[in-house]
Amino acid sequence: MLRLTRQLQRNIKLSQLQRVRFYSDSKDKKKGIKSEDKEDELDSSEQNLENKEDEKIVPKDNSAVESESPEESSSNDKPERKDNEKEDEIAVKKKPSERKRNNPKILAKLNLKNPKDNVPEKVSKLLAIPLTRRPLFPGFYKSLYIKDPKVILAIQELVNNGQPYIGIFLAKDENSEKDVADSLNDVEKIGVFCQITNTYQTGPDNSSLTVVVYPHRRIRITDISVGKEADNTEESSPVKIDPSNSILDRLNKLSLPVATVENLINQPYNSENRLIKATTSEIINVMKEISQSNPLLRDQIITVSVQTGNLLLDPSKLADFAAAISSGEPSELQAVLESLVVEERLHKALVILKKELANAHLQQEISKEVDRKINRKNQEYFLMEQLKGIKKELGLESDGKEKMIQIFKEKAAKLKMPEQEMYKLQGLEPQASEFNVTRNYLDWLTQIPWGQHSNENFDVKTAEVVLDEDHYGLKDVKDRILEFIAVGNLRGSVEGKIITLVGPPGVGKQLIKALGREFYRFSVGGLTDVAEIKGHRRTYVGAMPGKVIQALKKVKTENPLIMIDEIDKLGRGHQGDPASALLELLDPEQNNSFLDHYMDVPIDLSHVLFVCTANSLETIPGPLLDRMEVISLSGYVAEEKVAIASKYLSPQSVEASGLKDYKVTLQEDTIMALIRNYCRENGVRNLKKHIDKIYRKAAFKIVNEKLSKDDVLNITPENLKDYVGSPIYTSDRMYATTPPGVIMGLAWTQMGGSSLFIESVLESTLKDDGKPSFHRTGQMGDVMKESSTIAYTYAKAFMAKKFPENRFFDHANIHMHVPEGATPKDGPSAGSTMTTSLLSLALDTPAIPDVAMTGEITLTGKILKIGGVKEKSIAAKRSGVKTIIFPAQNKSDWDELPEYLKENLTPHFVEWYDEIFAIVFPNK
């Protein structure tokens, strides 16, 4: 009677728990949570429920409980409610549309009051259900979630026909989603024989089934077959089953695999064995220790291992329980399940528990360390807040925000600047993300020199002396600077200007900084981002103002001299066009209210003197060039270079090389040899490099040979190669005397002026029946190719008119070439030179010695104006030319050249080609 009462109470409690389980599963399904994710947790809850019910009625005589399994013993001091009250509570939680409960039918059909009652001792044919993650151990309830319609139907058939038995085996593939094993390779060989205690229809439209099973014993699977193949084995059961509804018949109709299994029993053992007792005691001690550090397992371990004694009397069940509550690897847990020798099973379970204990200790240490860090941070924060409060009460420290605002106000009081952002900062908390943005913005806003001007020097004489001391030549630039200063002298102030200095590298474009203004330089060569000019928006991380605002912050005045270097090399990228951004910056009519994206307030740049430098005007956009006042700087002739080297470059190199106290002499004739043989470029930058190299070599020689300060070291043209190597240029020009068909022209490049030879040759011997041809080489551009065609046409017309008996062009195959083929060449100014080259070839007559010419020619022989007169004159003088021919329209440009440049040059200014022919071929 006692046992019956206990069984009934347990069934009621278990039924309630399983209904709650189903209700929770239904909600989890709607949320997309798999039922299997909660199975382990629910299993332990079900086990505790049975243990608590059994504990209420455990008799004092231990013999009464020796035959019970672990799930039947526990303690529960709470009073029970009536059955109808429990049913009412469940009815509230239950949603009939979502599930159907079959448990009463199961118990009614089987007439079972306990899962252990009337269980057949041998069932050889079963459904093999694979279980993922961990194996199932005898004596511990488990809920399964079935989705396969055939398997659901088979389970319902088994339950309805009084055969609620299945086999559960650990799946070898942990990602398997099968609901039934159809091959021996799908599952482990050893599993458990389970009885179905409850089933619930769940999921959308009751399409899935939740099955609660109770494992009874270990079994081994020997075969899996489908359909009729399973009929050839012996029948099983001591339970009476209707033959028409047998397991095989039902499963065969559904074409489901049927597993052939056999029971496994533990090998005999002596519970009094010292090894078994010691291992059992160690397992109990480890479980107690785990319960102190792992609250998730504490209730189960304490309930079973401390308050009950049946596990201590059954070591095999103790090993199963230890493995069931641990979180070991599936392979380790399966090894415990497969162990039929109790000593081995206990040992394997103990190993798993030891690992569990080590993990628990590690988790505990990590938790303690985290708690210590959190407590330390909290304590530091608390103490810092206390310290701030104490200092504030004592007046030792003011609020950081207020102090910052006070500093900004003091700066703003001295400047003419807007104050809107100041009020914005006052309304922000220091912790706000916008606080730092506003603070940085105010830093920039208060460091711009609002209304601050530097004193300017309007003394023309003083400025002239300074310019002459620092720079040689460059009269045009010096005159423009002096004009600028003179206007300021008369007006008392000057407006900003945009001056552009154009010339080859190394010709002194930066001399304008001698004005005495605060100076700032930045280069825009290769610049592709508009934000470098106009600034970034403040919303971007790391935003900064543009280069001009940075310049104002640096110089601390509103009227500095800002040099924008390499303006002809502006780039263009996906961030915008910087050349367009410079339009507003360099427009005197607009830059009095320049708007930087970062500052977002108008800034007056009308007092800034902008000086731009470029090597060529061709790459500067037209709208930008229109805003500039262009001053062209030409290269230097050899005499100017000698003067610059003697007066400026040589003393600087002596100082830089540490030779100030030594007697190292570099005479003018040596510098001239250096210029002619090594440094023929228009500027002096390369000349400075060679002079520096000479003095470094001299310093090395003094140290190496241990020369005294009284020893004199002369650097002469003869020993110059010992310091700078072999000469780069061995002659002044390509041809000392030009043969027929070769004429020297003059060209302008970004590096300055240069000589340009035109060569024309006859490809083959003239034949009376030969057809004429003309082709050219030497990397000519389209314009230059057109000039050569015009020259060829005019030369034929000129010969037909001047020398009608000469039929050279009627049969000649002519090849024209411009040397230095690796250098691209273009422009119309070589037209007259090409014509002269063709006529020289046709007449087989060389031009007069030392002559050079330049000028565009038309089909009628008109000579048109060209550019770069000064540069071309410098190139002619450097090449040793004595006679130079220019278009008549360039006479005014020649007249502006300094006398030292025109010295030893005989100019001729022509309007028609006939005049050139008379000069070059005087005997024709």
Q: Which residues are catalytic?
A: 829, 872
CB atoms within 10 A of CB 728: 10
* Partners of residue 885 on adjacent β-strands: 853, 908
Q: Three-state SS across 3-65?
A: HHHHHHHHHHHHHHHHHHHHHHHHHHHHCCCCHHHHHHHHHHHHHHHHHHHHHHCCCCCHHHC
Closest CA to 322 of 286, 269, 292, 298: 286
CB 135 within 8 A of CB 188: yes
Is residue 748 within a helix (H) or strand (E), and if so which, with residue range? Answer: strand 742-749
Confirm if 217 and 40 have CB atoms less than 8 A apart.
no
Cβ proximity of 147 and 34 under 8 Å: no
Helix (H) / strand (E) containing 813: strand 813-817
Q: How many CB atoms lie within 10 A of CB 461?
A: 9
Distance, CA of 463 to CA of 781 (rounded, Å): 45
Tokens of 154: 């088979």
The tokens describing 64, both together, are 């009464």
Q: Which two tokens stand for residue 425?
A: 């900062």
Residues whose CB falls within 8 Å of the CB of residue 751, separated by 6 or more in sequence, listed in order: 504, 505, 615, 635, 681, 682, 683
- H helices present in 31-147, as ranges: 39-56, 83-93, 103-110
Choose among 593, 592, 594: nearest CA to 545. 594
Which residues, at least 6 apart from 441, have a Cβ–Cβ distance to it below 8 Å? Answer: 421, 538, 598
Bridge partners of 712, per DSSP, are: 663
Give dist(CA 86, CA 98) in Å, integer: 20
Tell whether the torsion through CA atoms of 417, 524, 752 and 832 is positive or negative: negative
Say if strands 609-614 and 712-715 run parallel, antiparallel, or are unpaired.
unpaired
- Helix or strand or coil: residue 673? helix
Output helix, strand, coil percentages for the chain, rounded to the nearest 5: 50, 15, 35
Checking 799-808 for CB contacts under 8 A at 24+ apart, the result is 799/839, 799/842, 802/917, 803/843, 806/842, 806/843, 808/766, 808/841, 808/842
For residue 345, what are the contacts with CB-CB under 8 A and spacing of at least 6? 316, 319, 320, 336, 339
The number of helix segments (H) and strand segments (E) in the chain equals 33, 25
Backbone angles phi, psi at 684, to 5 degrees: -120, 5
670: left (phi over 0), alpha (psi -120 to 50) or beta: alpha
Amino acid identity, residue 756?
A: L
Contacts of 12 (CB under 8 A, 6+ apart): 83, 86
Q: Which residues of 381-397 are buried (b: 16+ CB within 10 A; e: fewer)?
A: eeeeeeeeeeeeeeeee
Q: Which amino acid is at 690?
A: H
Q: Give, in degrees to the nearest 5, the angle at Cα 417 between 415 and 612.
A: 90
The H or E element containing residue 290 is helix 274-293
